[in-house]
Amino acid sequence: MTFELISVKYPNTQKERDDFEKQKKRIKRMRQLLKMHSRAGISEGHVCGDCDHLIDIEYNTKTYFKCALYGDSRCEATDWRKKWQACGHFKNAQ
């Protein structure tokens, strides 16, 4: 997995501010994944969406995915992505 460096400049327009906020959220989400990978390693060929530790929580008619091992703070900070590469704790009952 490779990461590109992000050049940061002060956003002047509304579009630039929106893009900047999206980038900040993306970086925060990637920190979550990297934390799990550093703790448990990487499970090659698997994604979090296939793992038994991924749970779905319904709130206000929307579904949010959380990793049971990472924790759930009931906010966006612990939302998880099904497409992420699974960590070494990958477990599938199939």
1-49 residue pLDDT tens: 566 666 666 778 999 889 989 988 888 888 889 999 999 999 999 999 9
CA–CA gap between residue 44 and residue 12 (Å, rounded):
42
Which residues are within 8 A (CB) of 46 and not within 5 positions of it... i.e. 6 or more apart?
A: 85, 86, 90, 92
Indicate the pTM of the whole model. Answer: 0.72
The residues spanned by each domain of the chain are 14-87
Q: By the 8 A CB rule, do 70 and 36 touch?
A: yes
